[in-house]
Amino acid sequence: MVKLKFVIRDNALVLRISENKERFYKSVKHLLKGNPNIQRHWSNDKERFSSYAVSYAENNQILEDFKNTYSSLIKEYPELSAKQVAQYYSSSKPVVVLQSQEQTPSTENSDMNLVEKYLEVVIEREKVKPGCNFEPYYKLLKKCRKLFRGFSSLTFQEINFDKCVSIARTFAKHDGYKGTSKSFRNLLGKAGKDQGVNFSISQIGDFMFANYDPKINEVDFNRPDVLNPDQLKEFLNADVSSMTPSYKDRKQVELYYDFCVFMFHTFFAPCDVIKLKYKDITKQGKIHVKRKKTHKPVEIPLNPVLENIINKYRGQTKNGYVFPIMDDEKEKEYTTKDYIFKKFRERINTWLKCVGNELGVDYNLYAYVFRHTAITVALDSGVPISYVAMAAGTSTTMIQKHYYNGDNQMNTDRLKQAFMGAAN
Please check whether residues 269 and 411 belong to one and the same domain.
yes
Please check whether residues 348 and 235 belong to one and the same domain.
yes
Please check whether residues 242 and 204 belong to one and the same domain.
no
Segments of the chain scoring below 50 in pLDDT: 91-109
Q: Report in angstroms the alpha-carbon separations of 251 from 246, 258, 337.
A: 13, 11, 27
**Residues near 60 by Cβ (< 8 Å), separated by ≥ 6?**
48, 49
Please check whether residues 11 and 145 belong to one and the same domain.
no
In-domain check, residue 58: yes
Contact 69, 90 (CB under 8 A): no
Q: Is the pTM of this model over 0.85?
A: no
In-domain check, residue 304: yes
In-domain check, residue 100: no
In-domain check, residue 71: yes
Please check whether residues 410 and 315 belong to one and the same domain.
yes
The confidence score (pLDDT) of residue 108 equals: 42
Q: Is the dihedral of CA 122, 124, 130, 134 positive or negative?
A: positive
The confidence score (pLDDT) of residue 322 equals: 96
Please check whether residues 409 and 320 belong to one and the same domain.
yes
The confidence score (pLDDT) of residue 105 equals: 41
**Residues near 147 by Cβ (< 8 Å), separated by ≥ 6?**
170, 171, 174
- Domain final residue, candidates 88, 121, 154: 88
| Residues 152-178: b if buried by 16+ CB within 10 A, e if exposed | eebbbbebbbbbbbebbeebbeeeebe
Please check whether residues 369 and 319 belong to one and the same domain.
yes
Cα atoms found within 13 Å of the Cα of residue 267, Cβ hemisphere only = 27
Please check whether residues 160 and 244 belong to one and the same domain.
no
In-domain check, residue 223: no
Q: Report in angstroms the alpha-carbon separations of 311 from 307, 316, 322, 382.
A: 6, 10, 9, 30
The confidence score (pLDDT) of residue 1 equals: 77
Three-state DSSP state, 101 = coil
Please check whether residues 382 and 327 belong to one and the same domain.
yes
Please check whether residues 281 and 352 belong to one and the same domain.
yes
Average pLDDT in the chain: 86
CATH number reported for the structural domain that contains residue 276 in this entry = 1.10.443.10
| pLDDT tens per residue across span 153-162 | 999 999 999 8
The H or E element that residue 43 is part of is strand 42-43
Q: Is the dihedral of CA 288, 406, 79, 82 positive or negative?
A: negative
Please check whether residues 279 and 315 belong to one and the same domain.
yes
- Domain final residue, candidates 154, 179, 211: 211
The H or E element that residue 3 is part of is strand 3-9
- Please state, in angstroms and rounded to a whole number, the distance separating the CA atoms of residues 274 and 290: 13
Please check whether residues 67 and 144 belong to one and the same domain.
no
What phi and psi, each to the nearest 5 degrees, are found at residue 46?
-85, -15
- Domain final residue, candidates 211, 243, 272: 211
In-domain check, residue 271: yes
Number of domains in the chain: 3
| Residues 55-73: b if buried by 16+ CB within 10 A, e if exposed | ebeebbeebeebbeebeeb
Local structure of residue 155 (DSSP, 8 states): B
In-domain check, residue 199: yes
The whole domain housing 198 covers: 111-211
In-domain check, residue 49: yes
DSSP string, 323-359: STT--HHHHTT-SBTTHHHHHHHHHHHHHHHHHHHHH
